[in-house]
Amino acid sequence: MRATLTIDLDAIADNWRALDAMTNCETGAVVKADAYGLGVAQVAPALWKAGARTFFVALAEEGIELRRHVGPEAKIYVFAGHMLGDRVMISAGDLVPLLNSLDQIARFKERLPGRPYGLQIDTGMNRLGLEIAELVEAGDLSPELVISHLACADTPEHPQNASQLAAFGFARQFNAPLSLSATGGIMLGQDYHFDITRPGIGLYGGLPFADATPVVHLSLPVIQEREVAVGETVGYGATWVAERPSFIATVSAGYADGLIRAMGNRAMLYAGDVPCPVVGRVSMDLITVDVTDLRETPDELDILSAYQTIDDLAAAAGTIGYEILTSLGARYHRRYVGG
């Protein structure tokens, strides 16, 4: 049987309220990429219920989907702005594009004159957004929101935070609400908060919101258990060799479920609070685990729980919590609690 991914909607609501309490401004909610892989259809209504009124998505298609789950009153901003092909979606979904370039401004003004828009300006990340020099060329603009994005907010001492903050001061000339901070920027303190924040990962229990309530729990069913003698190997490539008589449990999930192959021989699964090392390579549908030190092998072993967060697992796999979450596959039985 497939594994069960439990998603705690009350924890997401608690995290939103906790992040909101850290500022004196409005708190938005970033629900791009299907709410970081956790399911926008369930997550967005829970955030609305907690008090979120302003949402951010990456793409117009995500905005259309989100609109169905939050109703007509929610404000929905699109980070990608107005791309070719977005016109009908922007008007039908009542989406507000955050325009990123002079080309996008021209496209929007030609195709959707009179509709509301925001601007994204680049203050040093060089990923999306208008250069400040371009804004001077852009002529008369009346955005309803101006945002920029910090490249190094998860590293509070990084000098680029202060330099981006200083550059963002330019946006005050628009007399529009301003937004600079995602989760990391909220942690940097009041100077970074402006009028509305845009937390994503913190809502879903990840760093850099160190006090987040964990949101996901993932238990993998044990399919079988076997004894392995000293010198025998486990898994593809025979990369793990038993150095003692061992019990190996094989659980039902693998890299096709987002439990990336880089976890092989590095991550832990948990029997409650007892860590059991992953041994050998991760297969597409299976992971092998050393359960020798358990008195009894349980029916399931946890890979995400209070004892191993998305960031703990990410560290073992050489990645970040964001990638662990957004990789969690479509094959799990998804169980939502709370909300």
Ligand X SMILES: *Cc1c(COP(=O)(O)O)cnc(C)c1O
CA neighbor of 301 nearest in space, from 197, 198, 184, 218:
218
Beta strands in 155-202 (DSSP E): 178-179, 196-197
* Of the candidate residues 93, 97, 199, 264, the single one contacting ligand X (CB under 6 A): 199
| Residue placing its CB nearer to ligand X in the complex, 153 or 279 | 153
Backbone angles phi, psi at 227, to 5 degrees: -95, 140
| Residue placing its CB nearer to ligand X in the complex, 38 or 282 | 38
Separation of alpha carbons 175 and 171, rounded Å:
8
* Of the candidate residues 100, 123, 164, 183, the single one contacting ligand X (CB under 6 A): 183
Region from 177-185, 250-258, 272-280, 307-315 binding ligand X, contact rule CB under 6 A: 177-185
32 has catalytic annotation: yes
Binding status of residue 193 toward ligand X by CB under 6 A: no
| Torsion sign over Cα 202, 208, 209, 215 | positive
Binding status of residue 79 toward ligand X by CB under 6 A: yes
Binding status of residue 105 toward ligand X by CB under 6 A: no
Q: What letter would DSSP give residue 206?
A: -
| Residue placing its CB nearer to ligand X in the complex, 54 or 288 | 54
Binding status of residue 297 toward ligand X by CB under 6 A: no
Separation of alpha carbons 178 and 173, rounded Å:
11
| Residue placing its CB nearer to ligand X in the complex, 32 or 69 | 32
Binding status of residue 201 toward ligand X by CB under 6 A: yes
CA neighbor of 9 nearest in space, from 326, 330, 336:
336
- For ligand X, the nearest residue by Cβ is 200
Size of the site for ligand X (CB under 6 A): 12
Contact pattern for ligand X over residues 3 through 42, marking x by CB under 6 A: ---------------------------x-x----------
CA neighbor of 104 nearest in space, from 88, 81, 125:
81
* Of the candidate residues 75, 149, 193, 281, the single one contacting ligand X (CB under 6 A): 149
Catalytic residue, candidates 36, 49, 109, 236: 236
332 has catalytic annotation: no
| Residue placing its CB nearer to ligand X in the complex, 82 or 198 | 198
Region from 161-169, 192-200, 269-277, 279-287 binding ligand X, contact rule CB under 6 A: 192-200
CA neighbor of 271 nearest in space, from 310, 308, 297:
297
Q: Closest distance between ligand X and the C-beta of residue 272, in Å?
A: 30
CB atoms under 10 Å from CB of 92, counted, come to 12
Catalytic residue, candidates 32, 77, 204, 255: 32
For 147, residues 6+ apart whose C-beta sits below 8 A from its C-beta are 77, 98, 118, 119, 120, 121, 178, 179, 180, 198
Q: Take residue 177 and report the two structure tokens written for it.
A: 């609400």
* The CA-based dihedral angle spanning residues 126, 90, 57, 257, taken in that order and rounded to the nearest 10 degrees: -110
Region from 130-138, 180-188, 218-226, 301-309 binding ligand X, contact rule CB under 6 A: 180-188
What is the distance in angstroms between the CA of the first residue and the CA of the last residue of the chain?
26
Q: Closest distance between ligand X and the C-beta of residue 263, in Å?
A: 22
Full DSSP string of 224-245: EEEEE-TT-EESGGG-EE-SS-
* Of the candidate residues 31, 182, 218, 313, the single one contacting ligand X (CB under 6 A): 182
What residues line the site for ligand X (CB under 6 A)? 30, 32, 79, 149, 182-184, 198-202
Residues serving a catalytic function are: 32, 236
